[in-house]
Structure 1
Amino acid sequence: MVHITLGQAIWASVKPIIKIYLIIGVGFLMAKMGILPVEATRIISDIVLTVLLPCLSFNKIVANIEDEDIKSVGIICLSALLIFGTGLFFAYVVRLLLPVPKQWYGGILAGGMFSNISDLPIAYLQSMDQGLIFSEEEGNKGVANVIIFLTMFLICIFNLGGFRLIESDFKYNDDENAARISETTATQPAVSANTINTDTNKSLLSNEPQLFNDKYTARDTLTETIGTKANGNADISPISRQSTSNIAPLSPLHTCSNSNITKPVHTKARDTIACLPSEGSQVTSGSNPLDRQSSASTIHSYNTSESYNSSIDTMRARRTPSQPRAYNTATALEENCLDEKYPKNMSMAALEPVRSIDMRALPSQNIHHLIREYSNVDQYGHLRRNSSLYGIDMNDAHSIRSNSTLQTIKTANLTRILTSDATVSKKDIETSGESLPEWMKKFPLTPLLVFFLKNCLRPCSMAVIIALIVAFIPWVKALFVTTANTPHIRQAPDNAPPLSFFMDFTSYVGAASVPFGLILLGATLGRLKIGNLYPGFWKAAVTLVILRQCVMPIFGVLWCDRLVKAGWVNWQDDRMLLFVIAISWNLPTMTTLIYFTASFTPPEITDPIQMECVSFFLMLQYPLMVVSLPFLVSYFLKVQMNL
């Protein structure tokens, strides 16, 4: 056993923190610079969950877990339950004794219970396997142990319904107290269409300060029109208050015809271009069964979370799901309003979607945009759908021109659950098992069991299950890797195991999982903002953070010592396992907490108290981890492991 000095132990514990925070800082800056918007963050997160992390999990478990490690897997599972239980207990005590808003009673329990037990410890271990403290082989085995911890986390938060703690904080509106759209519109001075030229995009971007002066405040201005005169000369004229107040929100089911078209209208609502009826006609909501929901949830209330995109959305056209994002607006207008041609002297550049590179010049996105992207519900608690998809049957072959089998898979609820991290809700539990025979649905636990099994199909969970089966069967493992405990089998022409190419693939792809995860963590932290906190809540948040990152590590050291004294493990052969268990007691709260909270937050909400509490709670933890984790590691290396 290698002996190190105290200075070496301190440096070995601080060096990984420097690397981790540099990567987090990169994500933070990319979010602030607009290079990593919330849409890109979610896409990359889904890639990590569905491809990168499963590859990493399979590779590390198959290569480093043996059949003799079954006991270690059991110890990790037991340790994970103790970590979750201790955090839950501390959170409950804090909620009981200190000021916590009732709207975050469940969120604080989830925040105390679940920790960020994936990217952070893996990045830490991969910085300590250079030979001074641990060998590369020990580091790989430590990563495999962390992935077992991660699997327990996934089971508790998804399979067992831990997300219900967060969802229980939200109470949704009914028809009586629903938010309504302001019927007041602001008049705009008439502008000749001839003044609108090919520099429209440039002028819009140059007026950014004016466009965003009223950011995150309720907007009265709803629509602005582009009218055409009978002689073909186009003018831009305002819609009067009287005409606008009687117009219900239009849906894709409302089509344009010669009898009622006078002016094509480009609204400030997201992705909406419609055709207004003439003064003698009026569009009513009775023709569309979705209008009541559309009026309140699709168009929203134009509150704080809507104002940022108002200037961008005025340049976007409604498109059907089969149309690409860059679908030309003029073509859409010509198709929907057959005989009403868009003004030919109007610049089409003003109506094309804004490029992502141009959006970087706009103000930095913040927590409201995160809510808008991740929110899965409207103000009534119903599953939220994009306004451009209302009235369209996603499985209708006439509506969507694509392969029917692939489209069925893409639009299935199971696909939605399995390919993203914060899309499940109580309704998914209740509807699980609906396709089963009636006699099976009579059992009260059937939905829970079916929901549990559904979540076992998550790519990362499946990768861990398959990897453990392969690792615990020596002759199957020999097909992938060669170790001292695997039997000798016929090798491939390159003297490697027949399926070694699969290990090469998972190793190459999985290596990107941790860096991407830390960059996404930094981007998320870069969008958080401390708002108006509940009176006295800071006391509860600070106390719980101290309990999690200063007191819980003490329990971790005592638990490791208890395992050794009980004879379950020893310091010579299981020091990496003990090290992983110890640092797992000192990790901050899961970042997924912010995504789950946003997914249950309606975009219409004007006072997202849950998001404010989560933001403050998360932002407290990472500055403290700079001190607490290196201190724990230094103590554990010198005192517990006697290095």
Structure 2
Amino acid sequence: MTVSLGQAIYVAVKPIFKIYLIIGVGFGLARYGILSVEATRIVSDIVLTVLIPCLAFSKIVPYIEGQDIKQVGIICLSSVLVFGTGLFMAFLVRTFLPVPKRWRGGILAGGMFPNISDLPIAYLQSMDNGFIFTEEEGNKGVASVIIFMTMFMICVFNLGGFRLIESDFHYNDIENADQESTSSSHDDDEALSKKRVGDTSTIPVVSNNNSNYELKSRTKMSSNIENDVNITSSSSANTDDSNSLHSQGTRSTEASIPSTFSYTTEAQDLGSAQPRYYSKELSRTDNSMLSYRNSTNRRNTDGITRVRSLDLRDGPPQDMNDIIKEYSNVDQFGHIRENPYYKSPEPHADGQSEEPEYGLGRILTSDATVTTKDIRKSGNFLPEKLRKFSVVPLIVFFLKNCLRPASIAVFISLVVAFIPWVKALFVTTEHTPKIHQGPDGQPVLSFLIDFTSYVGSAAVPFGLMLLGATLGRLKLGKLYPGFWKSAVVLVILRQCVMPIFGVLWCDRLVKAGWLNWESDKMLLFVIAINWGLPSMTTIIYFTASYTPLDCKDPIQMECVSFFLMLQYPLLIVSLPFLVTYFLKVQIKV
């Protein structure tokens, strides 16, 4: 069937309307506080752990055949070329144009990894109505995109692509820590030393931007303690002795101070800037104070430490700072942000405590919780003889990340699709052997295909709404001088120049005899559009996860926000232009 130029343009533009309407819904939900940052993260984790795996299984098993193994190899090779070309473009921009020193790794990640997930799938599903592509071709195209996405996840997580983003962050040590953000300074250490020998001068109390503690004198602090304890004691049993009263009351002041709203608890705020040096008396006081607060003041503090999600709708729209509060995993020293549900190990003899370590489940079910420390710790459970080899942690980390639900779903789906007699248990095609069917004439495990198809169909709409919610929270800050030129040039290279390389690559695949325009037009189409996609949205979450809560100048977040906000307006023009050209000139519809 021959399609006119006007029809081709309409077919190319029509999916954009649907995609941007869904993105707009997510944008509006975020601005009105319905889709909060916390809700966004929860839904994102659901998409990663349930919806995407179901979508992968429901598309790969029925529509990938054993003879398609060559096409899977071509997809893997093409994805490497896409990532490599984007990395090269970003490297050129970083070399010849002004880029902040604190975002030299982030710009490489932004140029290297495209948004291969919701966007191309939504685009393909809008074109499988039989006018250009059939429904079967559309489903096979979705399966191809999912394999592309698996290669993306392998490069970002398994092979450590996230380290490009992490390399931009250089955290403080005890000696050069900000006086306003921590009480671990040299002056505070001297104050503690004087206190140990009987001096009654200033005692350091935990200082943190989120909890608003101050350095108070011993006399003033004792006065506040006695007042707070008297108030609390009026509604509880009398204490046994004055020493116990003083010990329990030392943090009554803390109990009266509200922490940051949302479900972030006070234990997290305290852990982010906890000083490394304590006297024995102060340590004993801390333990009794924590017990006192948890037991006596729980009813009083619950009402002021949590804000209902419904109440957020009456407040100002959440912004980039709220993303940092939710996703940040480190304090200004680079230590893992403390988890109130994590039972800290006993401190060592020198008073130091081990950092909390994220469990495997937490790493595999979220999109921005991995760090270089996870790589180093990956082989800790192995015998010492194996751990001495530097490559062992890398191998263990790679294998751990293969356990991500989306990756497992793709691997299992490909195995099932490539073994005809196993595939026949789920679906019936012309290439599957005839086996005994269920009472309804369907394969005995067809209910799994029904289940995954039904659940997986929600992955793309939710993903696009999350994209809109994320874009709705970004804001333009004070940019590094001249950085706007670098961002604009890289966006043009990614979305206007790289598609030319994609078309040339498709043409080369056909001339080499690996593919042909008639039977493999959907795969060639998928390869072409993946060369013209914007940068991955996950980069904003990775950047936020490495940004300390009390960071005063989040230049990395400002750069990545500006970079992402440039791309989606241009996508409205660049992607339909690429699709129109490919349909008329290459596929010749």
Q: Which amino acid is the alignment partner of residue 37 of structure 1?
A: S
Q: Does 1:465 align with 2:452?
A: no
Distance 2:115 2:290 in 1: 39
Distance 2:497 2:182 in 1: 55
Range moving further from structure 2, 224-233 or 17-26: 224-233
For 1:86, the equivalent position in structure 2 comes to 85
Instruction: Give the 3 Å change call, closer, same or farther, for CA 564–290 of structure 1 in structure 2.
Output: farther
Distance 1:290 1:374 in 2: 30
Q: Which amino acid is the alignment partner of residue 372 of structure 1?
A: K
Q: Does 1:515 align with 2:515?
A: no
Distance 1:290 1:512 in 2: 51
Q: Does the 8 A contact of 2:258 with 2:301 survive in 1?
A: no
Q: Does the 8 A contact of 1:222 with 1:269 survive in 2?
A: no
3-state SS of paired residue (2:245): coil
For 2:100, the equivalent position in structure 1 comes to 101
Distance 1:78 1:152 in 2: 10
Distance 1:454 1:27 in 2: 33
Aligned-pair CA distance for 1:437: 1.9
Q: Does 1:258 align with 2:245?
A: yes
Q: Does 1:381 align with 2:325?
A: no
For 2:317, the equivalent position in structure 1 comes to 364
Aligned-pair CA distance for 1:603: 0.8
For 1:456, the equivalent position in structure 2 comes to 402
For 1:37, the equivalent position in structure 2 comes to 36
Instruction: Give the 3 Å change call, closer, same or farther, for CA 80–232 of structure 1 in structure 2.
Output: closer
3-state SS of paired residue (1:523): helix
How many residues align? The count is 520
For 1:267, the equivalent position in structure 2 comes to 257
Which consecutive unaligned segments of at least 5 residues does structure 2 have? 184-208, 215-220, 235-242, 268-276, 347-355
Distance 1:124 1:20 in 2: 8
For 1:25, the equivalent position in structure 2 comes to 24
Distance 2:211 2:81 in 1: 53
Distance 1:157 1:349 in 2: 39
Q: Does the 8 A contact of 2:417 with 2:423 survive in 1?
A: yes
Q: Which amino acid is the alignment partner of residue 95 of structure 1?
A: R
Distance 2:37 2:259 in 1: 19
Q: Does the 8 A contact of 2:114 with 2:534 survive in 1?
A: yes
1:335 to 289, 292, 295: 295
Q: Does the 8 A contact of 2:258 with 2:305 survive in 1?
A: no
Q: Which amino acid is the alignment partner of residue 148 of structure 2?
A: F
Instruction: Give the 3 Å change call, closer, same or farther, for CA 537–231 of structure 1 in structure 2.
Output: closer
**1:510-589 pair list within 5 angstroms:** 510-589=456-535
Q: What's the TM-score, normalizing by structure 1? A: 0.76
Distance 1:229 1:54 in 2: 54
Aligned-pair CA distance for 1:483: 0.4
Root mean square deviation of aligned Cα: 3.0
For 2:126, the equivalent position in structure 1 comes to 127
Aligned-pair CA distance for 1:102: 0.8
Q: Deviations over 1:204-239 (max 9, x none)?
A: xxxxxxxxxxxxxx79965898956969999xxxxx
Q: Which amino acid is the alignment partner of residue 266 of structure 1?
A: S
Aligned-pair CA distance for 1:391: 6.1
Q: Does the 8 A contact of 1:290 with 1:391 survive in 2?
A: no
Higher helix share: 2
Aligned-pair CA distance for 1:319: 10
Distance 1:423 1:60 in 2: 28
Distance 1:115 1:87 in 2: 8
**1:406-445 pair list within 5 angstroms:** 413-445=359-391
Instruction: Give the 3 Å change call, closer, same or farther, for CA 457–352 of structure 1 in structure 2.
Output: closer
Distance 1:71 1:500 in 2: 27
Aligned-pair CA distance for 1:179: 2.6
Q: Which amino acid is the alignment partner of residue 258 of structure 2?
A: K
Q: Which amino acid is the alignment partner of residue 169 of structure 1?
A: D
3-state SS of paired residue (2:528): helix
3-state SS of paired residue (2:105): helix
Q: Does the 8 A contact of 2:181 with 2:550 survive in 1?
A: no
Instruction: Give the 3 Å change call, closer, same or farther, for CA 412–177 of structure 1 in structure 2.
Output: closer
Aligned-pair CA distance for 1:374: 0.7
Aligned-pair CA distance for 1:385: 1.3
Q: Deviations over 1:122-143 (max 9, x none)?
A: 0000000011111100000000
Distance 1:134 1:180 in 2: 63
3-state SS of paired residue (2:108): helix
Q: Deviations over 1:246-297 (max 9, x none)?
A: xxxxxxxxxx942445656411334449xxxxxxxxxx94359999xx9xxx
**1:8-407 pair list within 5 angstroms:** 8-181=7-180, 222=213, 257-260=244-247, 265-270=255-260, 271-272=265-266, 285-287=278-280, 335-336=295-296, 351=304, 353-386=306-339, 388-389=340-341, 392=344
Q: Does the 8 A contact of 1:88 with 1:109 survive in 2?
A: yes
For 2:237, the equivalent position in structure 1 comes to none
Q: Deviations over 1:558-590 (max 9, x none)?
A: 111111111111111000000000000000000
Q: Does the 8 A contact of 2:256 with 2:301 survive in 1?
A: no
Instruction: Give the 3 Å change call, closer, same or farther, for CA 117–432 of structure 1 in structure 2.
Output: same
Q: Deviations over 1:109-160 (max 9, x none)?
A: 0000000001000000000001111110000000000011001101111111
Distance 2:174 2:345 in 1: 25
3-state SS of paired residue (1:335): helix
Distance 1:319 1:468 in 2: 52
Instruction: Give the 3 Å change call, closer, same or farther, for CA 498–553 of structure 1 in structure 2.
Output: same
3-state SS of paired residue (1:587): coil
Q: Which amino acid is the alignment partner of residue 62 of structure 2?
A: A
